Structure 1
């Protein structure tokens, strides 16, 4: 009896091939034929699961984002049953840093997508939505912290959400390039959180 194909596994197999190509040399010149060869499938099967070249890249990005969310939820669960809002904000920001092999590989893939984000409307729309969503999440968490008395009422939550996420993005690039160590990047994040939430003993990095 022939083995039943797991379509989710096959889509992930193809997505992982795109990620490997992205980490090795970027995505500007990647073709459907190269993706198919890397994934060990036919070009026809590749098109069956995703369609055009742009749809392959977009689909691989969507799977990568879903994987990032799953890993982030797992790390957030390690904060305990009732983490402070500061700890949750810190966890969100640390997900933006390449602090381990999983996160480093993910951010290298995102960097490979960057040029395509600038030049291709379909991918650009996805990129434009991602950062505001994170900034809005951090802003909402700061507002909740203001309501609970953890953050002074005078803090501009929207401005801080934008600043903290932009700062984490900049630190991400510096760590990837070896211009800053992960430890120094975490210290910068913690100093900014001290400014917003008040000084606290820094927890272990996650």
Structure 2
């Protein structure tokens, strides 16, 4: 009897091979042949599941989003239940910071996608904002909950505040990777800004 192939698993195997290349070598020079070699499969098989490199890039980006989501969920759970709005926001932003090996891998991989979007603006314009937009909406929802509970100034422009927190977090992540500060220092800076947001008198 012929072996049954789990197509979702095979697609993920190929997509995650691309993510490994992205985190170590970047994406601009990565070919589908390179991905096949990294995944331990034939080029023909890669082309069977992903007809173009763009399709492969976008498919792998979806897997990367799943990996970050799982890290965020784990970070929030670690803070205890039920999670408060501040806990969700802190858990999410601290999970984005590259404070450990997994965080550094995720940050480097996203950076590879950003670099590719700079080289290929059409790719970034069409698909580059999908996951950042989802993340902003997620955080904005929890910040509004905090406003309704009187934990945060009700007059704050929620989307602008969230965009600023994400920009801060991304900048801190770059400073960790660049050796300017360590993870503890970055977390202290993030905590300082959240303290001021959730207690304006502090």
Q: TM-score, normalised by structure 1?
A: 0.88
Between the aligned partners of 1:123 and 1:56, the Cα distance in structure 2 is 15
Q: Which runs of 5+ in 1 are unaligned?
A: 200-206
Q: Kindly report the root-mean-square deviation, in angstroms, between the aligned alpha carbons of the 2 structures.
A: 1.8
Answer whether contact 2:71 2:95 (CA < 8 A) is retained: no
Q: TM-score, normalised by structure 2?
A: 0.90
Partner of 2:191: 190
Partner of 1:30: 30
Alpha-carbon distance change, 8 to 123 in structure 1, aligned in 2, over 3 angstroms = farther
Aligned positions of 1:129-148 closer than 5 A: 129-148=130-149
Answer whether contact 1:137 1:161 (CA < 8 A) is retained: no
Answer whether contact 1:18 1:60 (CA < 8 A) is retained: yes
Between the aligned partners of 1:95 and 1:125, the Cα distance in structure 2 is 26
Count of aligned pairs between the two proteins: 199
Q: Which runs of 5+ in 2 are unaligned?
A: none
Q: How far 1:196 sits from its partner (Å)?
A: 0.7
Answer whether contact 2:32 2:53 (CA < 8 A) is retained: yes
- Please list every run of at least 4 consecutive aligned residues from structure 1 whose deviation after the TM superposition is greater than 3 angstroms: none
Between the aligned partners of 2:127 and 2:76, the Cα distance in structure 1 is 24
Q: How far 1:123 sits from its partner (Å)?
A: 4.2
Does residue 72 (structure 1) correspond to residue 72 (structure 2)? The answer is yes
